[in-house]
Amino acid sequence: MSISFLQFLLEIMFLTIIFLHLFKKNSDIVLAYIIQSILVSLILSNSFIETGNILILWVILCVLVVKVILGPMFFNRLIKKNTLAFSVSTYLSSPLTFVFISFVTFMAFSKKLLPITNIIPSHHILLSLSISMIFLSLFLVVNRKGALSQIIGVLSLENSIIMFIVFAGLEQSPGLQIGIIFDIFVWIIISTVFASMIYNKFGSLNVTEMNRLKD
């Protein structure tokens, strides 16, 4: 795949994170995560095309099964079971969220981060985009009050780091990558179970309801 096509895929991924910040419906958030994970698989398939390593196909298969099929299936079950049509609000208002998104994206492309966005000079834009995705995913977890949004935020952070790894040429052996995906799979199950427990105890997925523990 050409760099411009990879950049195009990464830009769509970047947009999915922007939409994660904007979407109010939980099902839309899950859909954005599915699209993001499909794009991760597509970008990973570039490594397979370049190296011809069959084991990378297994990694892609694991990504598809865990992040595109099983993970969203758990999330959709959580939404249906608890009739959680709408996500709860954010700490910052939409205009302020946009200002922060612009600032973070600007920071990711600034000269300050040149040492890490220039690890492979020809991938400078791709790495800058990946860094901005990392920051924006982190911001998503911090800014959202909904437990499901926080789960998706953490998973989006993981996807963004994977993109950085791929474009910085730091991919690990397929065996280790499968180990990491297995960890993520267990994490998805546990976090979904906890989200369900939160709903049962607090009657909502709003994490601001959880304020019993204070000094």
Partner 1 sequence: MEIFFIVTLLVCISLITILLKKRIVIEVISLLGSLVVLFLSFAIALKVSDVGTNYVLFNFFSINSLSAIIIMIISLIGLGANMYSIPFFRKETEKNIIGFSRVKQYFIFLNLFLASMFLAVSSSNPVLSWIFIEATTLSTAFLISFYNKSSSIEAAWKYLIINSIGLLLGFFGMLLYFTSISSLPGNGLISWDLLLNNVSHLDPIIAKIAFVFILIGFGTKVGFVPMHTWKPDAYSKAPPPLGALLSGALLPIAFFIILKFKIITDMVTGPLFTRNLLIFFGLISIAVASLIMLNSKNYKRLLAYSSIENAGIMALGFGFGGIGIFAAILHMIYHSFVKSVMFFSAGNLLLKYNSDKIDTIKGALKVLPITSISFIIGFLIVTGVPPFGIFLTKVSILSAGIKIYPIITFVALFFMSIVFIAFLKHISSMFFSENDEDMVHDENNIWLIIPLIIFIVLLIVLSFYIPPFLSNLINNSVLIY
Q: Which is nearer to partner 1, 75 or 164 (CB)?
A: 164
Stretch that binds partner 1, among 24-32, 40-48, 91-99, 160-168 (CB under 8 A): 160-168
- Return the residue of 18, 35, 104, 141 that touches partner 1, per CB under 8 A: 141
Residues in the chain: 215
How many amino acids of this chain bind partner 1 (CB under 8 A)?
39
Tokens representing residue 93 in the block: 């208002």
Confirm if 48 and 201 have CB atoms less than 8 A apart: no
- Return the residue of 46, 64, 202, 206 that touches partner 1, per CB under 8 A: 202
Rounded Cα distance, 3 and 88, in Å:
38
Stretch that binds partner 1, among 26-34, 58-66, 96-104, 195-203 (CB under 8 A): 195-203
Q: SS3 of 25, please?
A: strand
Q: SS3 of 99, please?
A: helix
Q: Which is nearer to partner 1, 8 or 176 (CB)?
A: 176
Q: Which is nearer to partner 1, 24 or 201 (CB)?
A: 201
Burial of 106 (C-beta count, 10 Å sphere; 0-12/13-18/19+): exposed
- Return the residue of 14, 56, 74, 158 that touches partner 1, per CB under 8 A: 158
Phi, then psi, of 144 in degrees rounded to 5: -85, 140
Rounded Cα distance, 56 and 60, in Å:
6
Confirm if 143 and 7 have CB atoms less than 8 A apart: no
In the complex, the residues that contact partner 1 under the rule CB under 8 A are 115-116, 119, 134, 138, 141, 147, 150, 154, 157-158, 161, 164-165, 168, 170, 172-176, 179-180, 183, 186-187, 190-191, 194, 197-198, 201-202, 207, 210-213, 215
